[in-house]
């Protein structure tokens, strides 16, 4: 009986991985649309969307490889890159933009070291970004940021789960949370094109892929 339960749980994760990959392909499709213009602000925002998507793909690869602690840690990086992209688009001053578009060198790296961290970027976004853009960012931070930080920094979550094992429910929550960030990347990426109809299409896609997302307020542990 127990073996049957385990196999069923593994089947659920495998099915979710397939659907998640299908949704990721859709996000890639959105990001391939031409940008509204080639300004540094829009171009660098798009790059951050692409980096966030790369972390999401790597998350799934690590999940399949059963490197669960590393996978969940990547979810924080995925989220941070999205926030950075949104901050660049909505709130970053020109001085910060110049630091992020400079040729990489020892001097430019030093100048970029004092860019705001996540909490400060979110604070800026609360003042400058549309409410419907910042609300899901605040929700993710409220419910998932502290547990994810614990995984990244070798805290209690990483020690407990790595030593005792990861319940399937936790892995499913993490994968759905990653899909949720990908959904925000798709919305933001569509905004960068200036095509309002494309943004509406992205929101409609969430119904088609509803099985890929977690319930509101779910926590990654």
Residue 58 lies in a domain: yes
Provide DSSP, 64-90: HTT-HHHHHHHHHHHHHHHHHHHHHHH
The pTM is what?
0.92
pLDDT digit string (tens) for 118-175? 999 999 999 999 999 999 999 999 999 999 999 999 999 999 999 999 999 999 999 9
Residue 193 lies in a domain: yes
Residue 184 lies in a domain: yes
- Cα–Cα distance, 19 to 146 (Å, whole number): 27
Residue 220 lies in a domain: no
Residue 162 domain boundaries: 2-212
Quick one: pLDDT at residue 195?
Answer: 98
Of 185, 155, 15, 135, give the one whose Cα is nearest residue 73. 155
Residue 191 lies in a domain: yes
Sequence-distant (6+) residues with CB within 8 A of 183 are 23, 27, 202, 206, 213
pLDDT digit string (tens) for 31-60? 999 999 999 999 999 999 999 999 999 999
Name the token pair of 59.
């998350």
Residue 217 lies in a domain: no
**How many domains are there within the chain?**
1
Residue with tokens 């397939």: 18
């Amino acid at each position: 009986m127990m073996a049957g339960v385990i196999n069923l749980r593994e089947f659920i994760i495998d099915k979710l991985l397939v659907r998640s990959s299908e949704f990721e392909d859709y996000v890639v499709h959105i990001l391939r649309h031409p940008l509204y213009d080639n300004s540094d602000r829009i171009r660098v925002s798009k790059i951050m969307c692409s980096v966030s998507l790369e972390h999401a793909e790597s998350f799934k690869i690590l999940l399949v490889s059963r490197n669960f602690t590393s996978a969940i840690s990547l979810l924080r990086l995925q989220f941070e890159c999205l926030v950075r992209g949104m901050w660049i688009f909505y709130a970053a001053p020109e001085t910060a933009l110049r630091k992020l578009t400079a040729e990489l060198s020892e001097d430019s790296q030093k100048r970029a070291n004092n860019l705001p961290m996540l909490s400060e970027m979110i604070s800026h976004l609360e003042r400058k970004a549309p409410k419907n853009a910042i609300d899901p960012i605040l929700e993710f931070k409220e419910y998932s940021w502290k547990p994810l930080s614990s995984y990244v920094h070798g805290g209690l979550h990483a020690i407990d789960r790595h030593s005792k094992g990861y319940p399937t429910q936790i892995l499913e929550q993490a994968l759905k949370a990653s899909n949720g960030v990908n959904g925000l990347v798709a919305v933001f990426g569509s905004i960068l094109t200036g095509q309002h109809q494309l943004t509406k299409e992205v929101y409609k896609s969430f119904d088609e892929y509803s099985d890929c997302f977690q319930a509101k307020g779910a926590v990654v542990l």
